[in-house]
Amino acid sequence: MKSRRTLLLCAPWLGLLALPVIAQTPKLWRVGILASGSTASSGHLYDAFAQGLLELGYVDGRNIVFERRFANGDISRLPALASELMKAKVDVIFAPNTVAVQSAKQVAGTLPIIFVSVDDPVGSGFVESLAHPGRNITGFATIQNEISAKRLQILKEAFPKTSRVAVFVTPSDSISNVQLSEVRRGAKLLGLEVFPVEVQSRKDVASALAALRNSRAQAIYSLETSVNFANRNLLIELAAKAKLPTIFPTADYVRSGGLMTYSGVSGEALFKRASYYVDKILKGAKPADLPVEQSSVFALTINMITAKAQGLKIAEPLLLRADRLIE
């Protein structure tokens, strides 16, 4: 009887001892990725994003799952891909750029959305203000519009005899049109003529060489658009074939062989930083309370290997001002 009584008294405690084991079972978070590019063009960026989450304790397959949807440079596919993410019941959507956010916003309702490369989140209607987003969207803003004219000035300083510049644009991307307006404004001040060359998809890159020749362009200016980024290797090859100096919007282009860029922090750094916002949201923070961060540091990078290969002589004063020379 004494043994039986002891067993009965211990039984409730046995149940309590099992509770922590149940409580330690990790929740499996689902993070949706809505990308306008491809794994080939942007894989290194999403690797940085995943690495950031790994360092914060999120292990793929154990307590987090990535639902990846890539448009492969065809931004018309983004709305359908965004709907797929909603059907997958993701907890948050990582939509890096403007066109991706626009598509995610249409179907997300109150689901959190994080971005890393939106030029005007207030003007685009994504947030109420940078300090107080006020809605379900937040992230990291760029200031491509403000420095669009500055890049044109740098291109002119590097090659003073330049008078006609072809501009790679994506008309279906609203930010592209805003940037083009800024480039036109800068061109007027610098006495330059600019000629838009439409790049709506990968197919357009093939015909762009003829457009460059027809416009008698002496240099190329690439706007920061999701289509241009997804096809940056083709654009770099195009510039090499045309043997024209080119200025690009981010360092990713120059590391891939582009001539030069005037840009902020690297794409990898931004994508990794986005993981911290995702972590905060998964732990209960609201996007409305997470301020939009904005880069204020810019650097001039010049690829001297490309310059030599294309026989391009860059003005010495600009070389002396460069923050980084790739040699």
DSSP string, 248-283: ESSHHHHHTT-SEEEESS-HHHHHHHHHHHHHHHHT
Nearest to 158 by CA among 324, 263, 312: 312
Which residue range is the domain that position 198 belongs to? 144-263+298-326
pLDDT in tens, 47-79: 999 999 999 999 999 999 999 999 988 889 999
- Report yes or no on 112 lying in a domain: yes
- Report yes or no on 56 lying in a domain: yes
- The DSSP code for 76 is G
d(CA 220, CA 98): 23
69 and 217 fall within a common domain: no
pLDDT of residue 230: 83
d(CA 40, CA 55): 24
Strand blocks (E) in the chain: 29-35, 64-70, 92-94, 113-118, 137-141, 164-169, 193-198, 219-222, 246-248, 260-263, 293-294, 299-303, 324-326
Question: For residue 99, which phi and psi values (nearest 5 degrees)?
Answer: -65, -35
- Report yes or no on 23 lying in a domain: no
Q: Which of 5-9, 45-49, 134-138, 223-227 has the lowest mean pLDDT?
A: 5-9
121 and 194 fall within a common domain: no
pLDDT in tens, 151-188: 999 999 999 999 999 999 988 877 788 889 889 999 99
174 and 273 fall within a common domain: no
Residue 6: pLDDT over 60: no
178 and 316 fall within a common domain: yes
Determine how β-strand 260-263 pairs with β-strand 293-294.
unpaired
User: Which pTM value belongs to this model?
Assistant: 0.72
What is the mean predicted confidence (pLDDT) over 105-127?
A: 92
pLDDT of residue 42: 85
Residue 17: pLDDT over 80: no
68 and 182 fall within a common domain: no
277 residue type, one letter: Y
- Report yes or no on 279 lying in a domain: yes
For residues 96 and 35, is the Cβ–Cβ distance under 8 A?
Answer: yes
Nearest to 278 by CA among 15, 93, 63, 105: 93
Residue 20: pLDDT over 70: no
226 and 249 fall within a common domain: yes
d(CA 102, CA 325): 37
Question: For residue 71, which phi and psi values (nearest 5 degrees)?
Answer: -85, -10
190 and 92 fall within a common domain: no
280 and 241 fall within a common domain: no
- Report yes or no on 119 lying in a domain: yes
Give the C-alpha distances (Å, rounded to integers) separating 221 from 165, 167, 239, 250.
7, 5, 10, 12
pLDDT of residue 9: 43
pLDDT of residue 247: 96
149 and 164 fall within a common domain: yes
Question: 213-233 burial, b if ≥16 CB within 10 A, otherwise e?
Answer: eebebbbbbbbbbbbbbbbbe
- Report yes or no on 77 lying in a domain: yes
Tokens of 282: 């998964």
What is the mean predicted confidence (pLDDT) over 99-112?
A: 95
- Report yes or no on 34 lying in a domain: yes
Tokens of 167: 């501009």
184 and 38 fall within a common domain: no
166 and 303 fall within a common domain: yes
For residues 140 and 274, is the Cβ–Cβ distance under 8 A?
Answer: yes
246 and 176 fall within a common domain: yes
pLDDT in tens, 229-284: 888 888 999 999 989 999 998 888 998 999 999 988 778 888 999 999 999 999 99
Residue count (the chain)? 327
Identify the bridge partners of residue 32 per DSSP, sorted by sequence position.
67, 93
- Write the CATH number for 59: 3.40.50.2300
pLDDT of residue 173: 77
Sorting pLDDT into bands at 50, 70 and 90, what band is 38?
A: confident
pLDDT of residue 11: 44
Q: Which of 189-198, 203-212, 288-297, 306-315 has the lowest mean pLDDT?
A: 203-212
pLDDT in tens, 287-310: 999 999 987 778 899 999 999 999
Sorting pLDDT into bands at 50, 70 and 90, what band is 24?
A: low
Question: For residue 279, which phi and psi values (nearest 5 degrees)?
Answer: -60, -45
pLDDT of residue 25: 65
For residues 274 and 282, is the Cβ–Cβ distance under 8 A?
Answer: no
Number of domains into which the chain is organized = 2
pLDDT in tens, 209-231: 888 888 899 999 999 888 888 88
Question: 4-40 burial, b if ≥16 CB within 10 A, otherwise e?
Answer: eeeeeeeeeeeeeeeeeeeeeeeeebebbbbbbbbee
Determine how β-strand 293-294 pairs with β-strand 92-94.
unpaired
- Report yes or no on 13 lying in a domain: no
